[in-house]
Amino acid sequence: MIEERHTTLDSVFHALSDRTRRAMLRSLAAGEHNIGELAAPHRMSFAAASKHVKVLEKAGLVRRRVEGRAHVCRLEPQPLCTADEWLRFYERFWPERLGLLDELLRAEDQGAASRHKRGRSKD
Amino acid sequence: MIEERHTTLDSVFHALSDRTRRAMLRSLAAGEHNIGELAAPHRMSFAAASKHVKVLEKAGLVRRRVEGRAHVCRLEPQPLCTADEWLRFYERFWPERLGLLDELLRAEDQGAASRHKRGRSKD
DNA sequence: CAGCTATTAAACCAACTGGTTGACCTTCCT
DNA sequence: AGGAAGGTCAACCAGTTGGTTTAATAGCTG
């Protein structure tokens, strides 16, 4: 099960290491799409794009449902959450990025929430 | 510069897609280590481990400083932060995992912080 | 039925990965 | 000076990746 988690992280991070696949996930964040729609924005053959989707699928990031002749894909966010959990271990190393949360929780525990600035970035 | 960010994400996620390298980062989270120390826990040749360190270095995750005959490595957390930023875009998809932060900030803004449980996982 | 649409499958290719080994520098120790 | 310690580099290898093209399958549509 720990083993499982490692192979999961392997495949998830690998899936994320390609720009095309990251873009596909972004598309899927906006809603379901079939393979053709996912492939369209990328300058490559349909077959190549289809392979990318398969990589995402194997990483558990995408679920596919066949609907007539179309394969409709939907985002499966759980593995991203797992990856984020792994990353967040290092949270304490990047200054103020989200050390914020712990600060807030601590302050809250003491019944006295202090004031903080917020600056979040978008993509 | 956007371009730069993409190649960074490519190399960072790729670096993270290997278990050995993730373990090395964990070691470095505890403090500086030279290559030999980083290599020791892993059943592979010294040279192989050295290559892994180089991958981490190229991804900007590790900084190396030569000290006599030893190469001392230190964790460079910034790219992890960048990766996390990318991942956190999907935050809204995994239920309540850390929607917590925003909740807290919102509550704080209203001058009334509500109580929450915290449950974080380790690796 | 024919033909278009959506998609996979298979064969192939060049480039990269993760690993090995052996040769080779430096630096430290005695 | 000589040798061990800490690392790199280059060559090599098998397996994977990301891409191509061509062919095949399955579902709609007229």
Question: Looking at the structure, do residues A45 and A32 belong to the same domain, yes or no?
Answer: yes
Q: State how many domains chain B has.
A: 2
Question: Looking at the structure, do residues A30 and A68 belong to the same domain, yes or no?
Answer: yes
Percentages helix, strand, coil for chain B (3-state, rounded to 5) are 55, 10, 35
- Average pLDDT over chain B reads 82
Which residue of B8, B9, B84 to mutate against A (max A Cβ within 10 Å)?
A: B84
Q: Range of B40's domain? A: 2-77
Nearest CB neighbour to A80, from listed B14, B75, B87:
B87
**Is A97 a domain residue?**
yes
* CB A14 under 7 Å to nucleic chain D: yes
Question: Looking at the structure, do residues A36 and A91 belong to the same domain, yes or no?
Answer: no
Cross-chain Cβ contact A19/B10 below 8 Å: yes
Question: Looking at the structure, do residues A8 and A56 belong to the same domain, yes or no?
Answer: yes
pLDDT grade for B116, boundaries at 50, 70 and 90: very low
Q: What pLDDT is attached to residue B44?
A: 96
Concatenating the DSSP letter of every residue in A66-108 gives EETTEEEEEE--HHHHHHHHHHHTTGGGSTTTSHHHHHHHHHH
A111 C-beta neighbours (distance < 10 Å), count? 7
Report the range out of A3-7, B80-84, B110-114 with the highest average pLDDT: B80-84
SS3 call for A46 = helix
Q: What pLDDT is attached to residue A94?
A: 80
Question: Looking at the structure, do residues A84 and A73 belong to the same domain, yes or no?
Answer: no
Q: What pLDDT is attached to residue B77?
A: 94
Q: Which segments of chain A have a pLDDT < 70?
A: 1-7, 96-123
**Is A119 a domain residue?**
no
From CA A103, how far away is CA A100, in angstroms rounded? 5
Question: Looking at the structure, do residues B30 and B54 belong to the same domain, yes or no?
Answer: yes
Phi/psi of residue B60, each to 5°? 80, 15
pLDDT grade for B123, boundaries at 50, 70 and 90: very low
Question: Looking at the structure, do residues B94 and B37 belong to the same domain, yes or no?
Answer: no
pLDDT grade for B102, boundaries at 50, 70 and 90: low
pLDDT grade for B94, boundaries at 50, 70 and 90: confident
**Is B46 a domain residue?**
yes
**Is B105 a domain residue?**
yes
Distances in Å between the Cα of A85 and the Cα atoms of A32, B29, B119, B121 are 25, 15, 12, 7
Q: What pLDDT is attached to residue A100?
A: 57
Question: Looking at the structure, do residues B36 and B17 belong to the same domain, yes or no?
Answer: yes
Helix count (H) and strand count (E) of chain A? Answer: 6, 3
* Percent above pLDDT 90 for chain B: 68
Tell me how close the Cα of B61 comes to any Cα of chain A, in angstroms.
Answer: 12
Can you tell me the mean pLDDT for B32-42?
97
Question: Looking at the structure, do residues A68 and A96 belong to the same domain, yes or no?
Answer: no
Question: Looking at the structure, do residues B104 and B48 belong to the same domain, yes or no?
Answer: no
Q: Taking the CA atoms of A57, A63, A66 and A72 in sequence, report the sign of the dihedral they define.
A: negative
Tell me how close the Cα of A6 comes to any Cα of chain B, in angstroms.
Answer: 7
Q: What pLDDT is attached to residue B79?
A: 94
Question: Looking at the structure, do residues B54 and B103 belong to the same domain, yes or no?
Answer: no
